[in-house]
Amino acid sequence: MNNSKLFHLTTVQKIGCWFILWSLLGLLQTFRLYYAYNVYNPNILTWQKSAIWAFNEWYLWGLLSLLVIKVVHIIQDKSLIIKISTFITGMIVMPALHLYLYSVVWLWTKNWYYAEIMTSYNSAYEIFIGSYLGKINDNSVAFIFIVVGVYAFNYYRQLFLEKTRIAELNRTLAETK
């Protein structure tokens, strides 16, 4: 795909790319979960259960990343202080929000893929508190990668638009000679 097509995708193509990105992350997480849980106690977690957990987690990040993108676009022209304070706030709020929403989804669907992993959570709050310290690092890293990805994409898009503008000016200049 050349550069010009990258910034002119249809809505369906954008959704498809989005779906593929978060699906690939879910697939990687599936392998990690399956092997992490089964390393000491074989067959404690099936591939299907690993996939449900992983895809729930990453599709939820995919939805939350839309909020991150919106905030980055809102603060794009703001001062560095506002950008840093927004990032720090996001580092606190977004991972916690993701974990809480994931806890709610896990609670709603736990009977679909119950696994003996020594948990007896009965409420989203218990799940959230019980897994906060274990998941906050992963969620913080996911948030950082989303923010960096948005800024990198915006930078690349601006660079492409600037090169396109310069090429158009050069073409106009050549035509006037």
Residue 44: the pLDDT is 76
Helix (H, G, I), strand (E, B) or coil at 11: helix
pLDDT tens over the chain, length 177 residues: 455 566 677 889 889 989 999 999 999 999 888 888 788 777 777 888 888 888 988 999 999 999 999 999 899 889 999 999 999 999 888 988 888 888 788 777 766 655 555 455 666 666 666 666 667 777 888 899 999 999 998 898 889 889 989 999 999 988 887
CA 161 to chain centre: 26
Q: Are 135 and 56 in contact (CB under 8 A)?
A: no
pLDDT tens track for 128-146: 666 666 677 778 888 999 9
Alpha-helix residue ranges (DSSP H) falling in the chain: 3-6, 11-38, 47-75, 80-109, 124-176
What is the C-alpha to C-alpha distance for residues 56 and 45, in angstroms, rounded to an integer?
Answer: 16
What is the C-alpha to C-alpha distance for residues 34 and 125, in angstroms, rounded to an integer?
Answer: 25
Tokens of 140: 């913080």
Question: Which amino acid would we find at residue 158?
Answer: Q
